[in-house]
Chains A and B, each alone.
Chain A
Amino acid sequence: MTLFQGQAVPENQVHDFHPPIRPSGLYWVVEIPDGGLEISADGRSATLRMARIEVIDQPRWPAPDAEARPASMDIAMRWTATDEPLAMNDPTKQFRFRGWKARCQLEARIEVPSIQFTWKSDPMETSRADFAIIGEETNGKYYSA
């Protein structure tokens, strides 16, 4: 999650919060604890709620030498499918996706204790994502052409 002072453009970036890259190379991924993710039976909507996620604040990301500070994030996100289906199939990269374009909104709260920084988003309903999808995917070992 990137925060900006003024317009949301790279030169105005003042914070960037994400989990650290794992030694395996797994990129900004953390496990969701039990109960943190609810998906509807038809797979067309989902809600993610997590608290006290250990992240880092890397204001100069993506500079390779960007320093970081430990931070904490609470986040809630909601995906809802539209009626527009979306399918992808890439035999070269061995992945297939079937699902829908979606709407997504989020709210979050962030804390960087070492600099006494806190930030809280406006309510979820005031946000939007210009790109969102929801569905099912298979890749790698599970992919068949």
Chain B
Amino acid sequence: MHNNREAQEIGRRDLLHKAGVAAASMGLLPLVRCTTAAPARPSVIPAPVGGNEEPYPIPWLDKNGSHNQAGSDLEPSSIYHFSGRVARAAEFVGSGVDGAGNRLAFGSRTTDNSFMQGECWTSQRRARRGAWTHL
């Protein structure tokens, strides 16, 4: 009985030793150390904290899963929290020629363009002036 327990203990130590050698040979020990060492955090985080300086998108999608189809009752801007000048155009009719000489038309509802010039409110909760285009 006593000998059996000794044999089991030796077997367990041997197994742990082999596992350690295997982990070291696979380069896992440094990884283990990395996951336990938390990066140092600054005591003060300077403003602006979080977010970014990009304009907000319009928060809803249209029936195609896109933003802002053009129409007389549909919002012209592609930017939310915005105030300024806008213009929008869609349903173009036009044509052109590719490098091989083939004539290719452009247009339909999916050729829709606009500009927005003015002030927007970013996710950093700061006002930003600029000009943007939706192409």
Contacts and interface: CB of A to CB of B under 8 A. Distances in A.
Interface of A: 1-10, 13-19, 22, 24-32, 36-37, 39, 43, 46, 48, 50, 53, 55, 61-62, 73, 75, 77, 79, 86, 88, 90, 93, 95, 97, 99, 102, 104, 106, 108, 116-122, 126-142
Interface residues of B, number: 62
B3 interface: no
B93 A127 contact: yes
B85 A136 contact: yes
Given A30-B135, A129-B91, 6 more contacts: A26-B56, A32-B133, A46-B85, A108-B106, A139-B83, A140-B80
Nearest to B51: A24
Contact of A139 (B54, B66, B77, B105): B77
Contacts, number: 226
B133 A130 contact: no
B106 A1 contact: yes
Contacts of A88: 72-73, 75
Given A104-B89, A136-B85, A138-B82, A122 B95 contact: yes
A8 B99 CA distance: 19
A140 to B, nearest CB: 4
Nearest to A93: B75
Contacts of A30: 132-133, 135
A106 B92 contact: yes
Contacts of A3: 96, 104-106
B106 A4 contact: yes
- The dominant DSSP class at the A interface is strand
7 contacts: A8-B106, A19-B135, A48-B115, A127-B94, A131-B89, A132-B88, A139-B83
B76 A137 contact: yes
B48 interface: no
Nearest to A90: B75
Given A3-B104, A10-B108, A43-B85, A128 B54 contact: no
A9 B110 CA distance: 10
B99 A137 contact: no
B85 A118 contact: no
Interface in B88-135: 88-99, 102, 104-108, 110-111, 113, 115-117, 119, 121, 123, 130-135
